[in-house]
Amino acid sequence: MNWFSRFLRPAHDAGAALDARQEQLLADWRQLPDSDQRRSHYRSRYVVIDVAVSSGDAHAARLLAIAAVAVVDGHIAFQDAWQLLLPDAAQAPGVAASPPATATEVPADSPMADGLLSFLGFVGKSPVVAHNARFIRRVMQRALAEYLGVRLRLPWLDLAWILPDLFREVDAGPERLDAWLEHFGIASIKRHDALSDAFATAQLLQIALAHAASKGFDTPASLRELEKARRHLHQSA
């Protein structure tokens, strides 16, 4: 699909020290207003993110790719997607990469900080959504702290907890993304490619938003409360 290849953005790792331009970009992001968590799903912008990493250890895994797809007013915004593909992702086991000819080139000396600043600029202050968000959040927090010295204090929503509560009749398992995709007939273009999986997860979010709204959970804040309640119930069991 043409939209898919347009958002590949390769970049190279570099030093963590921020120059004046980068400091200004970070300051501009900090000054953005917080999103209104009481607005309807259909008047909100969510950002679904996924990552590709070198291992399953969130504290030690090397970040290979970050991808984000926006869901705006309940619709996936095909022109509102972003990806940072690190140079060694193509050689990493289990990570799919698009052919270099389809990638938008970034200068080889682009620092990792610039990629992460671009990520913050894309996300803004929108609620962040992921499947297995705890793992992804840890990976992202470590990278953002290392290269930018910031902590991403945004609302996070984890579909691994929300979906089982909304669809209790489905025996998909809380952490099995493949099972949820199969249940709803969602095909990932390239499984284990960060952007493709983010797009597939965005489709799951669309389904979750519609079903949640029909049950009275019609805002980002109410979804957070739903997730919080399920986590508390799980921990108390």
Confidence of residue 12 (pLDDT cuts 50, 70, 90): very low
Domain that holds residue 124: 2-236
- The H or E element spanning position 157 is strand 156-158
At residue 154, does pLDDT exceed 80? yes
Q: What is the CATH number of the domain that holds 16?
A: 3.30.420.10
Q: Would you list the DSSP string of 63-107?
A: EEEEEEEEEETTEEEEEEEEEEE-TTGGGSTT-----GGGSPP--
Report how far residue 173's alpha carbon sits from residue 209's, in angstroms, rounded to the nearest whole number: 19
What contacts 185, CB < 8 A, 6 or more positions away? none
Report how far residue 234's alpha carbon sits from residue 237's, in angstroms, rounded to the nearest whole number: 5
At residue 102, does pLDDT exceed 50? no
CB 128 within 8 A of CB 158: no
The structure's pTM equals: 0.84
Report how far residue 157's alpha carbon sits from residue 137's, in angstroms, rounded to the nearest whole number: 10
Average pLDDT score over the chain: 82
Domain total in the chain? 1
Question: What's the pLDDT at 87?
Answer: 67
Phi, psi at 204, each rounded to 5°: -60, -40
Confidence of residue 16 (pLDDT cuts 50, 70, 90): low
**Across 17-31, 141-155, 187-201, least confident range:** 187-201
Mean pLDDT, to the nearest integer, of 72-97? 71
CB 10 within 8 A of CB 103: yes
Question: What's the pLDDT at 62?
Answer: 82
Question: What's the pLDDT at 94?
Answer: 44
Report how far residue 176's alpha carbon sits from residue 106's, in angstroms, rounded to the nearest whole number: 34
Question: What's the pLDDT at 230?
Answer: 87
Q: What is the pLDDT of residues 164-199, one digit of tens each?
A: 999 988 876 656 889 999 999 998 777 778 899 999
The distance of Cα 157 from the centroid of its chain, to the nearest Å, equals: 10
Angle at 72 between CA 183 and CA 180, to 5 degrees: 10
Angle at 103 between CA 101 and CA 109, to 5 degrees: 110
Confidence of residue 236 (pLDDT cuts 50, 70, 90): low
Question: What's the pLDDT at 107?
Answer: 38
Mean pLDDT, to the nearest integer, of 127-131? 97
**Percent of the chain whose pLDDT exceeds 70:** 78
Confidence of residue 111 (pLDDT cuts 50, 70, 90): confident
